[in-house]
Structure 1
Amino acid sequence: MLSSASSFRNYRGVLNWCVVMLVLSNARLFLENLLRYGILVDPIQVVSLFLKDPYSWPAACLVIGILGVCIDVHVLGSISEKVGLLIYIFNLTVILCFPMVVVLKLPSITPVGGAFTLGVYTILFLKLYSYKDVNRWCRVRTQVKARSLSRSLSCDCMQSHVSYPGNLSLRDMYYFVFAPTLCYELNFPRSESIRMGFLLRRLFEMVVFMSVRHISYLMFFQWMVPIIRSSMKPLQEMDYSRMTERLLRLAVPNHLIWLIFFYCFFHSSMNFVAELLRFGDREFYRDWWNSETITYFWQNWNIPVHKWCLRHFYKPLLRRGAGKLLSQSAVFFASAFFHEYLVSVPLRMFRLWAFMGMMAQLPLAWFVAKFLRGNYGNAAVWLSLIIGQPIAVLMYVHDYYVTHCQDDPTITEAL
C-alpha cells in the first residue's frame, strides 16, 4: 500500500511568499503614513540634527582636539613607570570626562553631535588603554618574550619586524589611532599592496550608502517621528494596549535603519579604511545573523569591541581569580556603562534605560541558552533585536519630552 504523504523538502516558494507579503504590508503602511501626515521631511531638520548654529561647530572642534591628546600621550616613553602610570590614568580620565562636561554645559551641541563626539572619544579611550597595556607587558618581559606578543604576516611579503621599544614613535601611534581596530600590536598584519578595485568598490558602497542615509533620514522623519509623537500620550496615561501597538509600528523602521548603519559602518567604511592603510585583519564581524544564543550575538556582531573586552578586561579578571560568571557580568556592566554614557549624556538626562536594557541581556541570555535551541534560539535573538531597541527609543524620547519639551506649547500641540 502506497503512502499519500508528501515528501517535499524545498520551501523556497513559502519563503518568497513571506518576503512579498512583508514588502506589501510595509508599503501599505508607508503609503498610509504619507496620506495621513503628508511629507514631513525638511532639509533644515536634517541639518539641525548636527548643528544648531551654522557658525559654531563645537563637536567638530572636540574631535579635532583628539590629535593633541595623542601627542601628549606619546611623550610618556621618557619618564618613570610610576609617573607615567599616573599621567596615563589622568589622561584617560580626562578623555572620558572632558567631552562629557563640554556636551553637558554647551547648549549649542546637539544630541546627535554630542553622541558622535563621545563615540569618537570612547574609541580613543579604548585604543590608548590597549596601547598602555601592551607596552607595559613588553616592559616587564625580555625582548625575546616581547616578540611573542606581535603577530607576523601570513602573506608572502614579510615586513620588517619591530620590537619594543622600537615601536614607540608618533608614526606607529597615529597608525594605530586610525587603524580599524581597538587592540594594539607591535606588528599589525599588513597586506602587500592596496587593491584599487577593492578600494573603489568600498568607496562606491560608501557613496551609495550616503544616499541611503538620506533614505534613513526620510524613514526617521516620515515614519518614526509620527509614531513617536503619537506614543507620548499612551505612555503618560500608561495605556498598555496602545503602547504595544506603537512599539510594533516603530520596530520595523528602527530595525531597517540599524541594519543600514551596520552594513555602512562595519563593512563598507571599515574595509575602506583597512584597505587604505593596508591593514590585514578584516574580521570586523562574523555571522551574527545566525546566532542561536544572545551570547553568540554579542561576541560576533562587533569583533573589535569583543576582542578588546576579551583581551583587556575578561581574561585579566580570570587571571586575578575572578570566576567566569563574575567576569562575564563585569563585561556586561562595563558595556552597559558605555551605552549609557553615549546615550544619556548627549540627551542631558540620566534615566539608565540603556544601562537597564544591557543588564537585562544577562537573564535573557541565560534563558535562551538554557531552554531554546536551533531556530527557536535564533528567532529569540532576532526578536530581542527588533523589539528591544524601539523600547529603549520610546523610553528615552518620552523622558526627553517630559524633561525638555513639556512646557513648550508648540511641541505639546504638535504631539
Structure 2
Amino acid sequence: MFIETKRCHVLQESLLSSASGYSNYRGILNWCVVMLMLSNARLFLENIIKYGILVDPIQVVSLFLKDPYSWPAACLIIVSETAGWILHIFNLTCMLIFPSATVLTVTSMTPVGGVISLGIYTVLFLKLYSYQDSNRWCREIRQARAKRLTRSYSCPDVPQSNGSAVHSHVSYPGNLTHRDMYYFVFAPTLCYQLNFPRSPRVRKRFLMRRLFEMLFLMQLLVGLIQQWMVPTIQNSMKPFQDMDFSRMVERLLKLAVPNHLIWLLFFYWFFHSSMNFVAELLQFGDREFYRDWWNSESVTYFWANWNIPVHKWCLRHFYKPMLKRGTNKFLAQTAVFLVSAFFHEYLVSIPLKMFRLWAFMGMMAQVPLAWFVGRYLNGNYGNAAVWMSLIIGQPIAVLMYVHDYYVIHHSSTE
C-alpha cells in the first residue's frame, strides 16, 4: 500500500511538471490583453485630452441633407434616367391606386368625401406628370444646345400676356427647388412652366368678392340639392324599378332643369370664384380658366373651352405628343376622350363603390355626337345640339348612377 501511495505522488508531480511547461499559456495571453487595454486606454485618454468630444451624429446627417445633389455615386445608381422614370411611374401609379383602394375598403367613407379625395389626387397626378414632362423637355433642349442641335419644341416658359408681371426669371435647372414645385402644386393650373405669369399685387377687394361668392354659392348649391334634386331623384326610383317608360321620361325631364341649374352654379363657383380666389392669393397671372363655351356650335368646341386647364394639359401632354409620333388625328382625339372617360369613371364609380361604366359610356358617346354635330349641324343648330346634350345627357347619367346605387346599397336591406 505504501508503494502504491508513493507511485501516485510521483505521477502527480510528473503531471504538475508537464502542466507548468509551454502548454500552459493562459497567463501570458491575459497579460497581453491587459497590456493592450492599458495602452489603448492611454491613447484614448490622450485623444480626449487633446481634442475633446468630437462625436456629433447630427453633423453627420446634416452632411447628407445639406447638398444631396453632390453625391455622384448615389446619383449614378439611384437617380439614373431609367431608374428615375421607373420611380416616377411607380409614384404616379400609387397616387391613383392607393386612394381608390382606401375609398373602396373604408366603410365610413361617403360618396361625396370619396369624390373630393379622388379629385384632389387626380389633380396632383396630372400636375406631377406635367412637372416631369416639362423638365424633361428642358433637359433635352439643354443637351441639344450643348451639341449645337435644334428641337421642334421649346422649353415651357412665360407666355406673353397683358398685365402680367414676372417676379424672377429662372432657367433650367435653377427651377428645381421645393419652393417652385410647391407653388406649382397649389397654383390653379395643370401645366408646369419655369416662369409663370405673375400679377404685381394682391387686390384685396377682388379677393374678398371671390371669397363671398364661394361661401354664398356653396350654401346655395347645398340648399338646391337638398330641396330640389333629392326629392325628385327619390321619386324616380320606382318608375325605374318598374321600367315605366313614360314615368321615366317624365322624371328625367323634371330632373333636367334643377340639375342643369346646379351644374351652371357649380361651374361659376369652381372656375370663376374659387380658381380666381386661389390665383389672386398666389398672384398667379394667367386667369384664362374658361372661354365662351356657351356659344359652342360644336361638341368639340365645347370640350376645348369649358375647362381650359384640363384642355391645355390634354393638348400639351397627350394629344400633340401622339401626333408627333405619327398617330392619326381622329385616333388621337378618340384617345383623349378615352383618357377623359377613364378619369370621369374613376371619380364617380369608385366613391359610389360600384362599377357600371355610365360615366365612361357617356363620355365615349361624345365621339359620335361630336362627329354628327360637326358634319350635319352648324350655327344655331349646332349650339342648340350642344345645349341639348348638356341639359338632357347629365340627368340621364345621374339617374342611372343613383338607381344602381340605390339597388345595390339599399334595396337589399329593405
TM range (shorter): 0.7 to 0.9
Q: What is the identity, as a one-letter code, of the residue corresponding to 2:250?
A: E
The match for 2:158 is 151
What is the distance in 2 between the residues matched to 1:384 and 1:343?
A: 19
What is the distance in 1 between the residues matched to 2:182 and 2:210?
A: 23
Displacement, 1:242? Answer: 0.8
CA contact (8 A) 1:340 1:355 kept: yes
Query: Would you say 1:219 and 2:227 are equivalent positions?
Result: no
What is the distance in 1 between the residues matched to 2:107 and 2:117?
A: 14
The match for 1:36 is none
The match for 1:359 is 364
The match for 1:207 is 215
Unaligned runs of 5+ in 1: 1-74, 410-415
The match for 1:195 is 203
What is the distance in 1 between the residues matched to 2:69 and 2:405?
A: 42
CA contact (8 A) 1:183 1:307 kept: yes
Output aligned runs, 1:208-357, within 5 Å.
Answer: 208-212=216-220, 216-357=221-362
The secondary structure found in structure 2 opposite 1:161 is: coil
The match for 2:11 is none
1:129-161 Cα distance to aligned partner (Å, 9 max, x none): 000100111111227689853115644854332
What is the distance in 1 between the residues matched to 2:199 and 2:282?
A: 9
Residues 156/233 of structure 1: CA separation in 2 closer, same or farther (3 Å cut): closer
Q: What is the identity, as a one-letter code, of the residue corresponding to 2:307?
A: N
Residues 82/340 of structure 1: CA separation in 2 closer, same or farther (3 Å cut): same
CA contact (8 A) 1:299 1:306 kept: yes
The secondary structure found in structure 2 opposite 1:258 is: helix
What is the distance in 2 between the residues matched to 1:304 and 1:224?
A: 29
1:170-207 Cα distance to aligned partner (Å, 9 max, x none): 10000000000000001111111112222222122223
Unaligned runs of 5+ in 2: 1-67, 146-150
CA contact (8 A) 1:127 1:177 kept: yes
Displacement, 1:230? Answer: 2.0
The match for 1:66 is none
CA contact (8 A) 1:353 1:395 kept: yes
What is the distance in 1 between the residues matched to 2:332 and 2:159?
A: 30
Output aligned runs, 1:6-405, within 5 Å.
Answer: 79-142=79-142, 148-151=155-158, 154=161, 155=163, 157-212=165-220, 216-405=221-410
The match for 1:5 is none
What is the distance in 1 between the residues matched to 2:155 and 2:224?
A: 50
Residues 147/278 of structure 1: CA separation in 2 closer, same or farther (3 Å cut): farther
What is the distance in 2 between the residues matched to 1:175 and 1:108?
A: 33
Displacement, 1:208? Answer: 2.3
CA contact (8 A) 2:207 2:281 kept: yes
Residues 269/76 of structure 1: CA separation in 2 closer, same or farther (3 Å cut): farther
What is the distance in 2 between the residues matched to 1:347 and 1:272?
A: 30
1:299-336 Cα distance to aligned partner (Å, 9 max, x none): 00000000000000000000011000000000000000
Displacement, 1:296? Answer: 0.5
The match for 1:41 is none
**TM-score, normalised by the number of residues in structure 1:** 0.77
When structure 1 is superposed on structure 2, of 302-311 and 157-166 the one drifting more is 157-166
1:323-381 Cα distance to aligned partner (Å, 9 max, x none): 00000000000000000000000000000000000000111111111111111111111
Q: What is the identity, as a one-letter code, of the residue corresponding to 1:290?
A: N
The secondary structure found in structure 1 opposite 2:141 is: coil
CA contact (8 A) 1:202 1:269 kept: yes
Identity %: 69
The secondary structure found in structure 2 opposite 1:193 is: coil
**Larger-gyration structure (1/2):** 2
Displacement, 1:76? Answer: 9.8
Q: What is the identity, as a one-letter code, of the residue corresponding to 2:102?
A: V
What is the distance in 2 between the residues matched to 1:234 and 1:102?
A: 34
What is the distance in 2 between the residues matched to 1:336 and 1:156?
A: 35
Consecutive aligned runs of 4 or more in structure 1 exceeding 4 Å deviation: 75-78, 143-148, 152-158
CA contact (8 A) 1:369 1:377 kept: yes
The match for 1:3 is none
**TM-score, normalised by the number of residues in structure 2:** 0.77
CA contact (8 A) 1:153 1:159 kept: no
Residues 171/147 of structure 1: CA separation in 2 closer, same or farther (3 Å cut): farther
